Amino acid sequence: MARSLVLKLTAGKEAAERANQAFTVAATAIAAGVDVSLWLTGEATWFATPSGATLGLPGATPLEELRTAVLAGGALTVCTQCAARRSLAESDFVPGARIAGAAAFVEEALAEDAQALVY
């Protein structure tokens, strides 16, 4: 089994179920002791902002709780270009979120013990 899980979320509030699923899988993997790195791209970038962790998805764990779990036990990264296109800087994100580019994503995803998933 992979000891590292790299997730890329490419959807925002327009695809609430997909977004919630990515955060749920990330938080669940962390709880199981897996190293998790969750990457936010496109409209998912907003989930790293203080006010962006809301989906209002009935029957789902609130996104803010899932994000807190990811930040506490894993890594939360926003795509460099995606942040720039939205005029966002690292200071616009919740504490613990970082900005990194494609080279860092590729390095994580191709690590020997990694499994990468895209939502």
In one letter, which amino acid is 83? A
Which class for 48: exposed (0-12), middle (13-18), buried (19 or more C-beta within 10 A)?
buried
CB 94 within 8 A of CB 49: yes
Separation of alpha carbons 111 and 75, rounded Å: 15
Confirm if 29 and 36 have CB atoms less than 8 A apart: yes
Domain boundaries, the chain: 4-118
pLDDT of residue 2: 61
pTM, rounded to two decimals = 0.95
| pLDDT (tens place) for every residue of the chain, 119 residues total | 568 999 999 999 999 999 999 999 999 999 999 999 999 999 999 999 999 888 889 999 999 999 999 999 999 999 999 999 999 999 999 999 999 999 999 999 999 999 999 99
Q: Regarding the domain delimited by 4-118, which CATH topology (the fold level of the hierarchy) does it fall under?
A: Hypothetical Protein Ychn; Chain: A, (3.40.1260)
